[in-house]
Amino acid sequence: VTTDRILEGLARREPAALARAISLVENQSDGFEQVLSHAHGLLGRGGTRRVGITGPPGAGKSTLTEALIQRFRAQRLSVGVVAVDPTSPFTGGALLGDRIRMESVSLDPGVFIRSMATRGAQGGLATTTEEIADLLEAFGFERVLVETVGVGQTELDIARTAETTVLVLVPESGDGIQTLKAGIMEIADLYVVNKSDRPGADKFRQEVEVMLGIRRGNAFRHMAPHNPSDGRTGGRADSASRLSDGPPVQPSGRWQPPVLGTVATTGVGVDELTAALDRHYAYLQASGMMAEGRRRRLAARTRAVLERKLRRWLLEGTRVEELLASRLDELADGRRSPYDIAAEILDQVKAGGSATR
Ligand SMILES: Nc1nc2c(ncn2[C@@H]2O[C@H](COP(=O)(O)OP(=O)(O)O)[C@@H](O)[C@H]2O)c(=O)[nH]1
Ligand SMILES: [Mg+2]
């Protein structure tokens, strides 16, 4: 019944229904998959573009997001935003801070901003975020921005659910170069050195270009540029002397991720950023990567949904918990191992240990 009401509200394009649908998905409440399945039928029609924005805390992602929203609105494009915030008692205030700073756009009906807590979404955060982005697209937003905090695997997974991934770095973050060395740089399609008003920005940007193999430099000559791990970003240039101002697509036809400088607070470089987003979108379409990426994401999504269903069934639809409880003594006093018991439980479940109801 609730689900039907939400679906009706969505059909009438009521923001309140959208907010309820998002909560339903976020909490995986009854009927959430029904809403998502319905939304799925509305995807891929309006030419919505999704952009993931990630980077270390304080890099200026939210400020840049706001600047992008303003650019898109100037082009009369509607924008939906999902901001994934880490939920810790120490950073809980960040949510409110973001909301206040987003004030310039928050009263605009062409803009919908949703902050999402990371608490509780065990392991499925990237999937849940992508599903919320689906809801925004199904609702009709023409640009969907996904902001995540951090440069760990989870954040990258989230950012990569978008068609274009932007990694925001800042010159003064000493760990910037550590980030590069850790090899996570390869995942982005666009690199932004924000706070380019700060000293050392040009040098930092050049260092990033050297790390990506775009520019020949002295600083990291001893290190081999990273190779693409998944072919998504196209990896390093054939010629290390290529400058970032050169063509974005290499002779081999692969995308060369540009490194852009921005000052999000004043809007410097934001036009160049939107132009680079357009170029990347055009590249995705012309190269066939868009269709390929879509197939890959659909397969990944189906696997994730299947895993989620299996997990739920295992814990709620079988006697797993009961069997585990009955073997806890043997486990606790060391007679048996968790592996031994897990194998036994799985055997029993497979043999028909479905719900005892
Ligand atoms: N000097 C300078 N400050 C900036 C710039 N962009 C953002 N900031 C400031 O950096 C702080 C963190 O920005 P925020 O967008 O919240 O970062 P986020 O954590 O990455 O979302 C805020 O005080 C911004 O005003 C910039 O380009 N230059
Ligand atoms: Mg932020």
Q: What rounded mean pLDDT belongs to the chain?
A: 82
Q: Length of the chain, please?
A: 357
- Cα 215 to ligand 1 centre (Å): 27
How far is 246 from 244, CA to CA, in rounded Å? 5
Among residues 250, 255, 251, 252, the alpha carbon closest in space to that of 234 is found at: 255
The confidence band for 335, taking pLDDT boundaries of 50, 70 and 90, is: very high
306, exposed or middle or buried, with CB in 10 Å at 0-12, 13-18, 19+?
A: exposed
Order of strands, edge to edge, in the sheet holding 79-85?
111-117, 79-85, 143-149, 49-55, 164-169, 190-193, 259-261
DSSP letter at 313? Answer: I
Distance of alpha carbon 352 from alpha carbon 80, whole angstroms = 46
Closest CA relative to residue 118, chosen from 67, 154, 159: 154
- Judge whether residue 271 has pLDDT over 70: yes
- Tokens of residue 18, six digits: 């959208």
| pLDDT, tens digit, 9 for 90 and up, residues 29-78 | 999 999 999 999 999 876 899 999 998 888 999 999 999 999 999 999 99
Give the Cα separation of 325 and 342 in Å (integer): 12
Ligand 1, CB within 6 Å, residue ranges: 55, 57-63, 194-195, 197-198, 263-265
Ligand 1 centroid distance, CA of 356 (Å) = 56
**Is residue 53 within 8 Å of 192, Cβ to Cβ?**
no
Average pLDDT on 165-180 reads 75
Residue of the CA atom closest to atom 7 of ligand 1: 60
> Could you tell me the two tokens for 123?
């392991």
Burial of 220 per CB tally in 10 Å (0-12, 13-18, 19+): middle
* pTM: predicted TM-score of the whole model, two decimal places: 0.83
**pLDDT surpassing 80 at residue 100:** no
Mutational test site, ligand 1, from 113, 166, 170, 265, max ligand atoms within 8 Å of CB = 265
Which of 138-147, 205-214, 272-281 bottoms out in mean pLDDT, i.e. has the lowest? 205-214
pLDDT band at 267 (very low <50, low <70, confident <90, very high): very high
